[in-house]
């Protein structure tokens, strides 16, 4: 095995499950009791802004009741101690990676604690509830919306992510169902560029077949074990 220097890690809702945040496709394929197309599309926001804003207000408020778990903490330790390149790309909109201490982090699907202006594209930190009609501090229009990348919208910082993956020696995917593109395709890009690939997930994911190695179990157990092993080798 060639020495590992550059690492890209992709996380999904499963990494936050043990903190008490529901995953996307919970019981019945719903997200906190809602059909994904009712809370996670531009059409839903247009049709029923009250419902969509309230949904993300509830998710944002919930962040005050949860804490990072052992998986978030282990990834933050890896970030602090790994001297090679490292990028943590999360599909999660919660703030648990940064609260655990991760620094080299991209929220590719946006953040609950951010508001986006639908008119001028400005975005900034937002802690409180965000009712429809909230006013943008940049352009003055009453067009602030949750800073969440909906289905059909372009994820953030894709060029940076693709560049990091193309340079990675190791690509690791944790707690994601592998159903949402383009994130689900990252493993294929990583393989194309010759990276080793590892998946850690509770259940087999839709992309499991793409990974050189798949480990099954809770992220709170698997991730600290993996980080300990990696740092011991380094």
**Site of interaction with Zn ion (CB under 5 A):** 117, 119-120, 122, 136, 138-139
Q: Which residue from 8, 10, 12, 136 is in contact with ligand NAD, where contact means CB under 6 A?
A: 12
As given in the structure block, the two tokens for residue 3 are: 């020495």
Which of the choices ligand NAD, Zn ion, none does residue 117 contact, using the CB cut-off of 5 to 8 A by kind? Zn ion
Provide the β-strand partners of residue 174.
Answer: 11, 200
Interaction of residue 24 with ligand NAD, rule CB under 6 A: yes
DSSP 8-class letter at 20: T
The answer to whether residues 106 and 160 touch, using CB atoms and an 8 Å cutoff, is yes
Candidates 50-58, 85-93, 98-106, 163-171 — which segment interacts with ligand NAD by CB under 6 A? 85-93
Q: Pick the catalytic residue: 53, 97, 107, 109?
A: 109
Interaction of residue 176 with ligand NAD, rule CB under 6 A: yes
Kindly tell me which of 52 and 136 has the beta carbon lying closer to ligand NAD: 52
As given in the structure block, the two tokens for residue 67 are: 């804490």
The answer to whether residues 62 and 55 touch, using CB atoms and an 8 Å cutoff, is no
Q: Which residue from 6, 172, 173, 175 is in contact with ligand NAD, where contact means CB under 6 A?
A: 175
97 is a catalytic site residue: no
Q: In the Cβ-directed half-sphere of 128, how many Cα atoms lie within 13 Å?
A: 5
Residue 144 CB, nearest approach to Zn ion (Å) = 8
Q: Which residue from 6, 10, 18, 82 is in contact with ligand NAD, where contact means CB under 6 A?
A: 18
159-183 CB burial, b ≥16 within 10 A, e <16: eebeebbeebbbbbbbbbbbebeeb
Which of these, 81, 79, 54, lies nearest to 68 by C-alpha position? 79
Q: According to CB under 6 A, which residues from 130 to 169 bind ligand NAD?
A: none
Strand ranges, E, within the chain: 7-11, 86-90, 105-107, 110-117, 123-125, 144-148, 170-174, 196-201, 213-216
Residue 223 CB, nearest approach to ligand NAD (Å) = 8
| Measured CA distances, 191 to 10, 95, 151, 166 (Å) | 14, 29, 26, 9
Interaction of residue 173 with ligand NAD, rule CB under 6 A: no
Candidates 97-105, 118-126, 196-204, 224-232 — which segment interacts with ligand NAD by CB under 6 A? 196-204
Q: Which residue from 6, 7, 8, 16 is in contact with ligand NAD, where contact means CB under 6 A?
A: 16
Which of these, 6, 12, 7, lies nearest to 174 by C-alpha position? 12
Q: Which residues bind ligand NAD (CB under 6 A)?
A: 12-14, 16-18, 21, 23-25, 31, 91-94, 109, 175-177, 179-180, 201-203, 205, 218-219
Q: Which residues are catalytic?
A: 109
């Amino acid at each position: 095995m060639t020495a590992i220097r550059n690492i890209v890690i992709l996380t999904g809702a499963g990494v936050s499950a043990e903190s008490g945040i529901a995953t996307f496709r919970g019981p019945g394929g719903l997200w906190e009791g809602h059909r994904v197309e009712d809370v996670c599309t531009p059409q839903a926001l247009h049709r029923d802004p009250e419902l969509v804003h309230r949904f993300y207000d509830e998710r944002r408020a919930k962040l005050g009741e949860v804490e990072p778990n052992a998986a978030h903490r282990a990834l933050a330790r890896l970030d602090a101690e790994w001297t090679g390149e490292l990028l943590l790309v999360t599909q999660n909109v919660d703030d648990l990676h940064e609260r655990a201490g991760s620094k080299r982090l991209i929220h590719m699907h946006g953040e609950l604690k951010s508001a986006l202006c639908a008119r001028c594209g400005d975005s900034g930190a937002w802690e409180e509830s965000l009712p429809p009609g909230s006013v943008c501090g940049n352009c003055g229009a009453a067009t602030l919306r949750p800073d969440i990348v909906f289905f059909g919208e372009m994820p953030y910082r894709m060029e940076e992510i693709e560049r990091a993956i193309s340079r990675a020696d190791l690509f690791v995917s944790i707690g994601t169902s592998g159903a949402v593109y383009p994130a689900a395709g990252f493993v294929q890009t990583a393989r194309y560029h010759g990276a080793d690939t590892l998946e850690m997930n509770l259940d087999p994911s839709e992309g499991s077949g793409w990974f050189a190695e798949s480990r099954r179990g809770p992220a709170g157990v698997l991730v600290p074990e993996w980080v300990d092993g990696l740092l011991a080798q380094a």
